[in-house]
Structure 1
Amino acid sequence: MPVYDIVRTRPNMNARIWWNEFPSEYELHTDGQFTEVVADASEGCTWGACRAAVALDYISGMPRFGLLGGRFTPTTSGQFVLRLPQSPLDVQWWEAAPGRKLGLPGEYGPAVGTGVLGREGEWLDVPSGVLTLHVAAHDEVYSAPVVFVRVARALRSVMSLSSELDAETLDRFQF
C-alpha cells in the first residue's frame, strides 16, 4: 500500500496520502447509513476507479487536523454522487493519535461537499460516478469546517489523477 508523506513550509502543513488503499483501522463502520449529494457530471471529466485517503495536519498556530478517504466508482449515469457517512460518527476515539476522533461530525458534511463540488458560481468539474467516504477523522478541539473543505479538495485532487502518484506529481500537488 503506497503511503506518501509531504511536508510544506507554507501553509505549515503536513500531508499524508494513501493511494489505491486506505488502512482498515481508519475505516468507519456506518452500517450502510449514508447521506447522498447528487450533481450533474461534467462532460469530458473522467476519473478511474480508485481508493485513496488524505490527511492534512496544520502545524502552525492552533493545530488543525482532518482525514478523509473513500472509494470512487465510475458509472455511466451522468450523475456524480457523493456519499457522506451519517452522523453521529464523532464518538469513537482514534487510538493511534491522542486528541483525535474517528468520524465526520454532521456540521462538516456541507464543507466536504464544497471541497469536492465547489460552490455556486464556482462549480468544479466532476465525473459520472459514486464517491463513497469510508474514512474520516478530526481533531477533538481545533478542527473546523474550513479544514474539511481543504481536506476534501485534496482528496478530490488525488482521486482525479489518471495515473499512479510519483515524486514529480507530488512536487506539483496543491493542497
Structure 2
Amino acid sequence: MSLQLSRRLSIAGLAVGAVCAVAPALPAHAGPAASGAPDRTPAAAASRPAAAHPAPVLDGFRLTHLPAGLGTPSDFAYEWDDVAFCSRDWESRYGDGWRVELTVETLRGDRLASLAALRAYLTDYLEQGPDWRLTPVSIGHHPGLRTDDRVFWLVRPGVAVSVSIDPERYGVAELLRTARGVRERS
C-alpha cells in the first residue's frame, strides 16, 4: 500500500468539516454486461459521440479527458495540515490486489498562496526531499510543476489541483493530456 493511500485511509475518518462536492464518476471501462448494460469498452467509447456522457465533476472541476481503460473510481475527502483534499482515484485489479491508475485531487487551503508554497506543502505531504526534481509546466494559463507521474498547479491562491498517473501504464503525454482536461466550472 502506498504511503499516500495509507495516510488517506488513516486520516479519512478524522477530517472534520471537509466539504467535497462530487458528481458521480463514470467508469472509463466497464465491459458489456449480460444484462444488456451499454458497452463502455474503449473501442465502443471511440464510436460514440463525445457528448454521450457529461464529463465527471470533482469539487467544481470538470474532468474532460480521462485515459482509456481506467478501472473503478472512488472518491475521498480528507484534510492534512490545514489543507482540504477532494480526491478521485481510479483503480484496477492487479494480481491479487489493486493498483491505482489515476488520481485527481483538488487542494484548498490558505497556505497554498503561491506555486512555491504549493511545492513546499506537497514536498512535505509526499515526503520528498529538498532535491525533488520538478519540471516547470503550464496547465492552461496556470503555472505548475511535474515529474514523470505527477503534475500539480495553482489555480489561484488557496486552490490547487494535482494529477498523478501510473507511469507503468501511461506516459507523461497522457499525464499532461489528463491534467489539461481538468477545467474549473464557470
TM range (shorter): 0.3 to 0.5
TM-score, normalised to structure 1, is 0.35
> Looking at both structures, which has the greater relative contact order when contacts are Cα pairs under 8 Å and sequence separation is at least 6?
1
